[in-house]
């Protein structure tokens, strides 16, 4: 029986590592063009509930379905899918971030985090798929 426990533990570690892979698609395609609809990034999502203004000039609203991304233009619509639970939300990019670890590819609002089920986790493995590219215009 100890051998079986070791096999189960190894399977758990391998499965957990697969779910938390930090492999991410660069924000440009191999042809050097900007990612369009259907482009996917894999990495980690975090969430934030405080703040006053976003980088786009909008007032931060923790109840809105919005997110921060380092490079996607403001107004880009993306679907964020939790890679373990398969819960998904569609959010609009209106801020910059996350900052720090390159493994973290998107910060979602508190409302989006609740729908994804990551409020208690804080950080979760996700796939971010571009639905429609924004024009990058700042709010006025």
Please give the residue that has the higher pLDDT: either 118 or 20.
Answer: 118
Q: What does pLDDT average to over the chain?
A: 80
Q: Convert the pLDDT of each residue in 58-76 to its tens digit.
A: 999 999 999 999 999 999 9
Q: Convert the pLDDT of each residue in 13-28 to its tens digit.
A: 344 434 433 333 444 3
Q: How far apart are CA 18 and CA 99, in angstroms?
A: 23
| Domains in the chain: ranges and CATH | 2-132 (2.40.40.10)
Q: How far apart are CA 72 and CA 112, in angstroms?
A: 18
pTM metric for this prediction: 0.72
Question: Are the beta carbons of 25 and 41 closer than 8 angstroms?
Answer: yes
């Amino acid at each position: 029986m100890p051998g079986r426990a070791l096999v189960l533990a190894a399977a758990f570690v391998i499965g957990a590592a697969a779910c938390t892979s930090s492999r991410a698609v660069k924000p440009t395609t191999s042809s050097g063009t900007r990612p369009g609809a259907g482009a996917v990034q894999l990495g980690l999502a975090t969430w934030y509930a405080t703040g006053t203004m976003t980088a786009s000039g909008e007032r931060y609203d923790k109840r809105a379905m919005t997110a921060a991304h380092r490079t996607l233009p403001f107004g880009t619509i993306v679907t964020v899918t939790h890679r373990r639970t398969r819960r998904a939300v569609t959010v609009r990019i209106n801020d910059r971030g996350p900052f720090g670890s390159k493994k973290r590819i998107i910060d979602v609002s508190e409302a989006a985090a609740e729908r994804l089920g990551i409020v208690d986790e804080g950080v979760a493995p996700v796939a971010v798929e571009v639905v429609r590219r924004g024009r990058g215009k700042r709010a006025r």
